[in-house]
Amino acid sequence: MRVLGLETSCDETAAAVVEVQEPQSERPRGRALSDVIHTQAAVHERFGGVVPELASRDHLQRALPVIDEALRQARCELRDLDGLAVTRGPGLVGALLVGVQVGKSLSLASGLPLAGVNHIEGHLLAALLADDAPPPPWLALVVSGGHTSLYEMRELGQYRALGHTLDDAAGEAFDKVAKLLGLPYPGGAHIDRLAASGDPRAVDFPRGLSRRSRAAYDFSFSGLKTAVLTWVREHGLPRGEQLADVCASFQEAVCDALTLRAVRAARASRLPTLVLCGGVAANSRLRALLFERCAAEGISAVVPPPRLCTDNGAMIALAGALRLARGERADAALSADPGWRL
């Protein structure tokens, strides 16, 4: 089954053609024939965050050229496809609307069936596109700029949310702390790089909700962000070694809180595999700590390559293929759903 996926939920216009083997089986496998991503980082950089209006406008200009390029790289035309998939939510409403409208128009013009996909579901299933794809079921820790959640996936297409962030997403916390330390946007990768030469025990930053049993699988990062702000107010903007130490200490607090709950959930659910996905999965310390803590518990940790972790069209095409294979069809009434909970 060959599906074209389109992603426009935030600040990336992405399209990909994915070939899915046995989409109706318990173990489908996907292979991206093309994977085109236009990032808007340069559009938003000087504002230190995503400006929704500019995002929508850029998606409008880029959606069709990105789709054309995805078809060209996959050496196929619309008539060689079996279906279309588009991100319907969650995300920025204006950005989502562009994708949904383009998806519906293409479907109408080509007669191809269309599926509306949940963006988080895309992140969760992206692991099926990796060479060493783990067999479902699995537990997934989704950590991106917009989301931080734990999901149980006992069967494909059936997701149970175990916990979410109560305030900032992990990537958002990285980006906000980077901004207050004077680093460029998006700051996650900069903190990762600087932290490599710092001491993670230099500053004892708080771990959010770790001592509250009621929120066993929830996360909170706003207190940590405030703690870094307070530190900067007391000590001034750190430079050199001190900057590396603050980055390492902040990063350690985030990774400690994330891995602690993920491993706790994997243990309680008795699922053998823990999949890490979303843009923050690129973080070197998070990957290392997750592997370390999972190994100690006999849990298999899987982290897809960074290109599959950050926003892309291939994960949307794959999730859409599974929906289409189950008989799902979106009609002309399909609309964006910016707050869609999985």
Site membership for ligand KG4, residue 186 (CB under 6 A): yes
To Zn ion, the closest distance from the beta carbon of 285 in angstroms equals: 20
Which H or E run includes 285? helix 284-297
Smallest CA-to-CA distance from 92 within 128, 49, 61, 124 is with: 49
Peptide bond into 65 cis (omega under 30): no
To ligand KG4, the closest distance from the beta carbon of 101 in angstroms equals: 21
Smallest CA-to-CA distance from 105 within 208, 239, 219, 6 is with: 6
Span 304-323, contacts to Zn ion by CB under 5 A: 311
Q: Tell me the C-alpha distance between 267 and 298, whole Å.
A: 9
Among the listed residues 171, 198, 208, 238, the single contact to ligand KG4 using CB under 6 A: 171
Q: Tell me the C-alpha distance between 194 and 191, whole Å.
A: 5
Q: Tell me the C-alpha distance between 250 and 290, whole Å.
A: 17
Q: Tell me the C-alpha distance between 30 and 38, whole Å.
A: 22
Nearer to ligand KG4, 113 or 122 (CB): 122
Among the listed residues 7, 35, 192, 245, the single contact to ligand KG4 using CB under 6 A: 192
Q: Tell me the C-alpha distance between 86 and 104, whole Å.
A: 9
Name which of Zn ion, ligand KG4, none residue 30 binds, using a CB cut-off of 5 to 8 Å depending on partner kind.
Answer: none
Name which of Zn ion, ligand KG4, none residue 245 binds, using a CB cut-off of 5 to 8 Å depending on partner kind.
Answer: none
Q: Which residue is nearest to Zn ion (CB)?
A: 144
Site membership for ligand KG4, residue 252 (CB under 6 A): no
Q: Which stretch binds Zn ion (CB under 5 A): 19-27, 110-118, 137-145, 192-200?
A: 137-145
Span 111-150, contacts to ligand KG4 by CB under 6 A: 144-146
# binding residues, ligand KG4 (CB under 6 A): 19
List residues near Zn ion by CB under 5 A.
144, 311
